[in-house]
Amino acid sequence: MNLIRKLLPPLASGALFGAGLTISGMTDPVRVRGFLDVFGRWDPTLVFVMGGAVMVMAIAWRIQARMKTPMFGEKFSLPDRRDFDGRLIAGSALFGIGWGIAGLCPGPAVASLALSPLSVLPFLVAMLAGMAVHNLLPEPGLRRQGAL
């Protein structure tokens, strides 16, 4: 029973997510790069994808504010940082560069395992390697505290 509570909501969420990415054409790197190509053949489709998703989620956050615990879990486990730091900006800029080069971000890349597994595999393996390389960096908290 506990296993089902832990497995089913994320599994259903992932499946809906993958379906939404595929319907909207976001698993097509050409379409994603088209959105970023504002100086060329701009494709505004991604604006509608993000707009639709943000609208639904804006309502979900309002509902969440009135809930004490999630429906199938003990507690909400949500990010609470509010500070701006160089890592947020530098990391996001790097991510944007990689996103622009390949037209792929993590969601569509994972979803593409069912659609174009061989094509997307080099990206996914490299993405995990990039995450592993990041883990080699010293912890930012330690640096801020002067421990490094």
Q: What is the dihedral of CA 76, 77, 81, 85, to 10 degrees?
A: -150
Residues touching another protein, count (CB under 8 A): 118
Please provide the distance, in angstroms rounded to a whole number, between the alpha carbons at the two ends of the chain: 45
Q: Which listed residue (7, 139, 144, 148) binds another protein by CB under 8 A?
A: 7
When the beta carbons of 79 and 146 are compared against another protein, the nearer one is 79
Q: What share of the chain is helix, strand, coil (3-state, %, to 5)?
A: 65, 0, 35
According to CB under 8 A, which residues from 65 to 124 bind another protein?
Answer: 67, 69-79, 81-84, 87-107, 109-116, 119-120, 122-124
Q: Which listed residue (1, 58, 138, 146) binds another protein by CB under 8 A?
A: 58
What is the biggest distance separating any 2 CA atoms in the chain, rounded to whole angstroms?
A: 53
Q: Which listed residue (23, 139, 143, 148) binds another protein by CB under 8 A?
A: 23
